[in-house]
């Protein structure tokens, strides 16, 4: 089916939408040590922009869920090898999707708080949670990559072994203070994996 062949490209859509929402649209939001007045003023003045950012990030989660399922199917191969690693990769993707929605909900609470003029203490508390909420979906990506590494290095699935080694290194780094560097490289890894799986699906369809 054409939709199944296009499914791997959802990884590219995930990366693009997430970067658009967090970096391009949302941009430089208040930090954890900013004053309550600055936090409330920012979100009161940027309600529309930050709401659009939340929508884009939420849409990225939809495409990540599709990519996680497509990745699991590709790691299993045509007949399935009975390994648990593809399921580990899927679980990591699913938990990351849940983390994205959590982070989006916290950010939306800040937007509504700035609009409704809730107490300064509440704004400071929610902003502190928002500052670290990205961990809720960033770290689970490490679980997804470790699942990919386990499946690929054992000889299963469609990805080359060098992608498995890269996934293993990046997955481990996610559980260290250098996880932000791993996140940026993981975006590139997801784009490359999307293209490789799409080309494999096209070759299979042609055959």
pLDDT digits (tens, 9 = 90+) for 32-41: 888 888 888 8
Say if residue 1's pLDDT is above 70.
no
Looking at residue 79, what is its pLDDT? 46
Q: Angle formed by the axes of helices 85-116 and 36-45, to 10°? A: 90
How many other C-beta atoms lie within 10 A of the C-beta of residue 147? 27
- Residue 141's closest CA among 106, 177, 179, 104? 179
What is the average pLDDT value for the chain, to the nearest integer?
88
Say if residue 135's pLDDT is above 80.
yes
pLDDT band, very low/low/confident/very high, at 28 (cuts 50, 70, 90): confident
Say if residue 92's pLDDT is above 90.
yes
Q: How many CA atoms lie within 13 A of 25 on its CB side?
A: 18
Mean pLDDT of 181-199: 94
Return the domain boundaries, the chain: 2-201
Mean pLDDT of 139-159: 90
Looking at residue 29, what is its pLDDT? 87
**Position with higher pLDDT, 119 vs 151:** 151
* C-alpha distances in Å from residue 137, one per residue of 64, 134, 200: 11, 6, 28
The pTM of the full predicted model, rounded to 2 decimals, is: 0.89
- Please answer whether residues 5 and 198 qualify as being in contact, where contact means their C-beta atoms are separated by less than 8 angstroms: yes
Say if residue 91's pLDDT is above 70.
yes
């Amino acid at each position: 089916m054409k939709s199944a062949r296009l499914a791997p490209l959802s990884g590219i859509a995930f990366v693009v939408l997430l970067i658009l929402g967090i970096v391009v649209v949302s941009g430089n939001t208040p930090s954890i040590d900013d004053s309550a007045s600055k936090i409330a003023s920012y979100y009161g003045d940027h309600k529309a922009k930050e709401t659009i950012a939340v929508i884009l990030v939420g849409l990225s989660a939809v495409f990540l869920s599709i990519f996680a399922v497509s990745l699991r199917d590709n790691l299993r191969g045509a007949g399935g090898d009975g390994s648990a690693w593809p399921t580990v990769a899927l679980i990591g993707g699913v938990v990351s999707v849940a983390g994205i929605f959590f982070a989006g909900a916290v950010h939306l609470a800040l937007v509504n708080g700035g609009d409704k003029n809730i107490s300064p203490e509440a704004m400071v508390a929610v902003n502190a949670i928002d500052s670290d909420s990205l961990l809720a979906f960033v770290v689970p990506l490490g679980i997804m990559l470790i699942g990919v590494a386990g499946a690929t290095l054992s000889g299963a699935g469609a990805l080359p072994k060098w992608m498995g080694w890269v996934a293993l290194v990046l997955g481990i780094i996610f559980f260290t203070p250098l996880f932000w560097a791993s996140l940026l490289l993981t975006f590139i890894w997801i784009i490359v994996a999307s293209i490789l799986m799409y080309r494999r699906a096209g070759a299979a369809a042609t055959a």
